[in-house]
Amino acid sequence: MSGSVTSAANTDSASGRLQALGLALPELRDNPHYVHHRSVDSSIYISGQLPYKDGQLMGQGIVGRDVGLETARELARHAALNCLAAAAQAVGDLDRVRIVQMLVFVAGTPDFGEQSNVAGAASELLIEVLGENGRHARTAIGVAGLPLKSPVEIQMVCTAV
């Protein structure tokens, strides 16, 4: 993975770094009950994003019981990618996105204590793609359950640069 991080870091634009990682911003499906983002002054509030890919939830279950740590980390990366898609949609260009805060919810067993490790995968992706604009304040919280039995949900606050 360090090779892809290095090649991604040498790319000038966030979109180029994303592409160098073999990723693309997903298209977010509309929801009749909420919006994916809401701007207030210079802040952009990103609704909680689940690890959807091509309209399908990538995993279900409780981390530490049904879902392993590495799978949970990958799901967190994809939820963060969906957050980036919402942020880019809000500001019009991924290169204009700065992450202010990320809140990561991990549905885990009562004795699962690796929420920060799961959240770390999402943080790493944000820094790989956005560089210094991807560094953020972060909270990782363990919860009993999440919508649709998703193992991970991520919410963000961003700003345009």
Please write the tens of the pLDDT for every residue from 20-58.
999 999 999 888 999 999 999 999 999 999 999 999 999
The reported pTM is 0.92
Residue 77 neighbours by CB under 8 Å, 6+ apart: 121, 122, 124, 125
**Does residue 89 surpass a pLDDT of 70?**
yes
In order of start, what are the domains of the chain with their CATH numbers? 35-160 (3.30.1330.40)
Question: Are 47 and 35 contacting, i.e. CB atoms less than 8 angstroms apart?
Answer: yes
Angstrom distances, CA of residue 52 to CA of 27, 41, 154: 10, 29, 12
Question: What CA–CA distance (Å, rounded) separates 123 from 104?
Answer: 10
* 53-82 tens-digit pLDDT: 999 999 999 999 999 999 999 999 999 999
CA–CA distance, 4 with 9 (Å, rounded to integer): 8
Q: Determine which helix (DSSP H) or strand (DSSP E) holds 90, and give its type and residue range.
A: helix 69-91
